[in-house]
Amino acid sequence: MHTSPIEVKNIKKTLQGREILKGITFEVEQGDIFGFIGPNGAGKTTTIRILLGLYKVDSGNASIMGRDVSDDESRKKVGFVIDGDGLYDNMSAAANLEYYQKIYDKSVDKKKIEQVLELVGLADRAKDKAKTFSKGMRQRLALARALVHDPDILILDEPTSGIDPSVQLDIRKILLDIVQNENKTVFFSSHNMDEVQKICNKIVLLHKGEIKLYGRLDKLRQQMGKNILTVHTSSEITNDILNKFNDIEDIGFYKVNKGNLLFTPSKNVKTSDIINLLVKAGIEVEGVVKEESSLEEMYNNIVREAEEK
Ligand SMILES: Nc1ncnc2c1ncn2[C@@H]1O[C@H](COP(=O)(O)OP(=O)(O)OP(=O)(O)O)[C@@H](O)[C@H]1O
Ligand SMILES: [Mg+2]
């Protein structure tokens, strides 16, 4: 039977009389880098706590690698970083990792420890105490810590908050690396839309305990795209050509702007249709730019709309 690494079906959760999750459903598939986004208080950390077996659901169910999250075995498949880095200050980087291997019922595997330290770029600091590390180094060590028992899934709550852009880049590279080269699946929450757009293939946008957007990021961006096509040319655009284009309603031709022709085609028109039309009219196409909505624009539109309701 096919089971996805994370399956969440209609889960509801009330905390102190308030309904925090109002029945959410989504699935994280093998090899996904899944972005979990939404405003402060949306319920992201609550969901993550449920996935880690720290909170019980009121109804619905959630599973990790086919096992219900209430099953202790499900936890062994997961590496996680939430609520700080979970490091012991007075222990060396390597000793922290050894300790976490033992917690996960694994015997100490020095090779694995070396490998994850290498992965996060801390191999030369193995013997140094965690308290001597900068915030960015701690965050990378926390990732190593989450990987040291060789989990199938990594669950991270805002892994890059409060760290500088170069370490954010390091962490993005590490996440891509483990998904592409080690067959792992990553699920993380973030407030950084640029970061999510750069590495996630799928997203959920949560707002006040409800899912407002869910799916493949490229598809969502296409669907919600502004659908403006800009064609760059140095050919002369005669009035004849302009009139001809103006007559074809579907292509939405509307402007010539500094050697650029601008179109807002309807959904049934393909970019290649427009290019063919231009070529037939003797116009040399030097470049084409199709604008898509950025995740940040989509996020802001959806959250604004939801707040107005
Ligand atoms: N232990 C708790 N008891 C009562 N209410 C809680 C508890 N934990 C969280 N909440 C409430 O649940 C809601 C969702 O909180 P949660 O931490 O899941 O949001 P979040 O999406 O992670 O937000 P942020 O982006 O700020 O981290 C908030 O209104 C919060 O006040
Ligand atoms: Mg949170």
Could you tell me how far CA 271 lies from the centroid of its own chain?
28
At residue 27, the pLDDT reads 98
- Reference 122, options 154, 87, 155, 157; nearest CA is 87
Name the residue at shortest CA distance from atom 30 of ligand 1.
41
At residue 257, the pLDDT reads 83
Pocket residue to mutate for ligand 1, from 13, 22, 44, most atoms within 8 A of Cβ:
44
Average predicted confidence (pLDDT) for the chain = 93
> Phi first, then psi: what are they for 200, rounded to 5°?
-85, 140
Task: Report the top-level CATH class of 6-215.
Answer: alpha beta
> What pLDDT digit, counting tens, does each position of 143-165 carry?
999 999 999 999 999 999 989 99
Ligand 2: centre distance to CA 159 (Å): 11
For the whole model, what pTM was predicted?
Answer: 0.87
Residues of the chain with CATH 3.30.70: 226-291
> What pLDDT digit, counting tens, does each position of 83-141 carry?
888 999 999 999 999 999 999 877 899 999 999 999 999 999 999 999 999 999 999 99
Kindly state the percentage of the chain with pLDDT values over 90: 74
List Cα–Cα distances, 237 to 18, 22, 183, 205, 245, in angstroms: 62, 56, 52, 44, 11
Q: Give the 3-state secondary structure of residue 73.
A: helix
Ligand 1 cavity residues, CB under 6 Å: 15-16, 20, 38, 40-46
Ligand 2: centre distance to CA 107 (Å): 33
Residues of the chain with CATH 3.40.50.300: 6-215
CA–CA distance, 226 with 204 (Å, rounded to integer): 21
Rounded mean pLDDT of 290-308? 90
- Reference 10, options 25, 21, 28, 26; nearest CA is 25
Kindly state the percentage of the chain with pLDDT values over 70: 99
- In the CATH scheme, what is the code of domain 226-291? 3.30.70
First to last CA, the chain: 41
The residue among 158 and 240 whose pLDDT is bigger is: 158
Q: Is the pLDDT of residue 279 over 80?
A: yes
Pocket residue to mutate for ligand 1, from 18, 22, 46, most atoms within 8 A of Cβ:
46
- Reference 94, options 78, 111, 107; nearest CA is 111
Q: Which helix (H) or strand (E) holds 196?
A: helix 193-199
Ligand 2: centre distance to CA 66 (Å): 25
Q: Give the 3-state secondary structure of residue 171.
A: helix
At residue 56, the pLDDT reads 96
At residue 252, the pLDDT reads 87
Ligand 2: centre distance to CA 43 (Å): 7
CA–CA distance, 271 with 74 (Å, rounded to integer): 47
The residue among 215 and 293 whose pLDDT is bigger is: 215
Name the residue at shortest CA distance from atom 5 of ligand 1.
15
pLDDT band at 237 (very low <50, low <70, confident <90, very high): confident
Which ligand lies nearest the alpha carbon of 38? Answer: 1
Name the residue at shortest CA distance from atom 2 of ligand 1.
15
Q: Is the pLDDT of residue 41 over 70?
A: yes
At residue 25, the pLDDT reads 98
At residue 1, the pLDDT reads 62
Q: Give the 3-state secondary structure of residue 68.
A: strand
Residues 6+ apart with CB under 8 A from 147: 79, 116, 119, 154, 178
> What pLDDT digit, counting tens, does each position of 169-201 carry?
999 999 999 999 999 999 999 999 999 999 999
Name the residue at shortest CA distance from atom 3 of ligand 1.
15
